[in-house]
Structure 1
Amino acid sequence: MEETTNLSPKADASLYNGQPTDTGSSCPSAGLTSCTPSIQENKGGVSVENVPSGNKQWFVLRVIYGRIIKAQTFVEAKGLECYVPLRYKEVRKQGKKRIITEPLLPSFLFVHASAEQVDYLLQDKNIKAFENRTLLRYYYDHTSHCENAPTKNPPLIIADTAMDNFIRLTSIHNPHIIPVTSDNIKYKLGDEVVITEGEFKDIHGRVTRIAGQQRVLVELFDGYLVATAYVPKNAMKPYVEH
């Protein structure tokens, strides 16, 4: 059963409530184009908190479906920063409209840490003992391969600029922000723009039409996108990367 939360959102919204298949072969250490040897199993009692934290990056981890809050609690208990985007949803109870939150991407957790820290985290025996299944594991970048192992994919890493844009969008309390995948879009993605006014100001993405409305799509990775609510043409301008 999918978890629902009324936590005060550090972030809001999740993308797609499906479970994309992860067929990538394991590349033991993180990196976009290189594949370095995995850290050996911790035999000296070193905890995640004591692992070098330099060169932090945003890693995408797969979570057992419906266990995103348990995964968040587990990671934060290790002293690591993570992000769970939430979706704001309007519901009616006893004739009154309420806004609730639920995980936008119930199969994904975003962890901001070094490659060494994530490796140590995923070696924790409690992860593998969870309900006889692995609570957390790498999600792999299927668009690239490890330099030293060309048949394997490296763990997926999200660039800071892309993650900042995604967090900014999914932190807006608007129930009309919707999750989509590239399969749902029957329109050619248009020009890349930045929104200049309103609650979506400074969000940048590509213009498209969904459900008969002009919106701006933010793509985080591998065809997973979030669409804003309706944005008028005069509230956007061409985006120029600095």
Structure 2
Amino acid sequence: MEDTTNLSPKADASLYNGQPSDTGLSCPSAGLTSRTPSISDNVRYGVSVENVPAGNKRWFVLRVSYGRIDKAKTFVEAKGLECYVPLRYKEVRKQGKKRIIPKPLLPSLIFLHASAEQVEALLHNNKVVVNDSRPLLSYYFDHTIHRQDNPDRNPPLIIRDEAMNNFIRLASIKNPHIIPVTSNSIQFKLGDNVVVTEGEFKGVHGRVARIAGQQRVVVELFDGCLVATAYVPKEAMKLYNEN
């Protein structure tokens, strides 16, 4: 497997859904700009989630070894790099009271906003301790294409800014009915691409699907990574044209 990333003195901490206090973990700074400079500070208030072009930085998808998402966040954070860890909000009852508990939405993945050189340097030596038998992080490869310099290998998966904006917009909404789904568990309705025009999911775009008897909008970040909104009524969406 191709490994490796380095450090950038830019970001103070990584970002948990734009709300580090939800995780119970400490972060050096509460401002979104310092955690993910490409994301507008207004995301905390539900106003905007737009990436600003940041030179040669791209959104890389990295695999996290089993059960170590918090360690991965801390490790990347210590290198001064920017990352995004999406959460889901699970509804539970304790002593008769309803509570919303944050959990990683994709516990085996972390999204790193960095240059290719920074990612290479980070992954070059990313064991938490010297005798650690497992690398903490590794590339998630794009199996839909091949490298130009080596046709037998796949390049690291990179997410377009627009797709990442849309994903962060959805994942940042604290709604327990937002769920990860698999392609064989949903029925797309005519495959319509829509954008939500009203309610808490306003601005999210994806494909209309029927899941668990409800009409929802599914956002596909990459092949195999799909997340569904809660129920969205027909009158709260319209057809979406990327162009």
Normalising by the residue count of structure 2, what TM-score does the alignment of the two structures yield?
0.76
Matched-pair contact (CA < 8 Å) for 1:86–1:104: yes
What is the CA distance between 1:95 and its match in structure 2? 1.1
Match of 1:37 in 2: none
Mapped partners of 2:116, 2:186: distance in 1: 34
Rate the CA distance shift 1:134–1:188 in 2: closer, same or farther, 3 A.
farther
Instruction: Give the letter for the 1:96 counterpart.
Output: K
Alignment deviations for residues 78-104 of structure 1 (CA, whole Å, 9 cap, x no partner): 000000000101111111111110001
Mapped partners of 2:19, 2:222: distance in 1: 18
SS at match of 2:153: coil
Matched-pair contact (CA < 8 Å) for 2:127–2:134: no
Instruction: Give the letter for the 1:225 counterpart.
Output: L
**Runs of at least 5 residues in structure 1 that lack an aligned partner in the other structure:** 1-6, 13-52
Alignment deviations for residues 105-136 of structure 1 (CA, whole Å, 9 cap, x no partner): 00000000000000000012535847411110
Number of residues of Structure 1 aligned to a counterpart in Structure 2: 196
Alignment deviations for residues 150-192 of structure 1 (CA, whole Å, 9 cap, x no partner): 1100000000000000000000010001110113224466200
Mapped partners of 1:234, 1:222: distance in 2: 29
Which moves more between the two structures, 148-157 or 175-184? 175-184
SS at match of 2:199: coil
1:10 equivalent in alignment to 2:11 = no
SS at match of 1:241: coil
Matched-pair contact (CA < 8 Å) for 1:11–1:167: no
Match of 2:99 in 1: 98
What is the RMSD of the two structures over their aligned residues, measured on CA atoms? 2.0
Matched-pair contact (CA < 8 Å) for 1:11–1:85: no
SS at match of 2:106: coil
Matched-pair contact (CA < 8 Å) for 1:11–1:86: no
Rate the CA distance shift 1:124–1:56 in 2: closer, same or farther, 3 A.
same
Match of 1:166 in 2: 167
Mapped partners of 1:130, 1:75: distance in 2: 19
Mapped partners of 1:67, 1:228: distance in 2: 27
Matched-pair contact (CA < 8 Å) for 2:17–2:168: no
Among all aligned residue pairs of Structure 1 and Structure 2, give the percentage whose two residues are the same amino acid: 71
Match of 2:157 in 1: 156
Match of 1:76 in 2: 77
What is the CA distance between 1:8 and its match in structure 2? 6.8
Mapped partners of 1:81, 1:58: distance in 2: 10
**Runs of at least 5 residues in structure 2 that lack an aligned partner in the other structure:** 1-14, 21-53
Mapped partners of 1:192, 1:207: distance in 2: 7
Instruction: Give the letter for the 1:145 counterpart.
Output: H
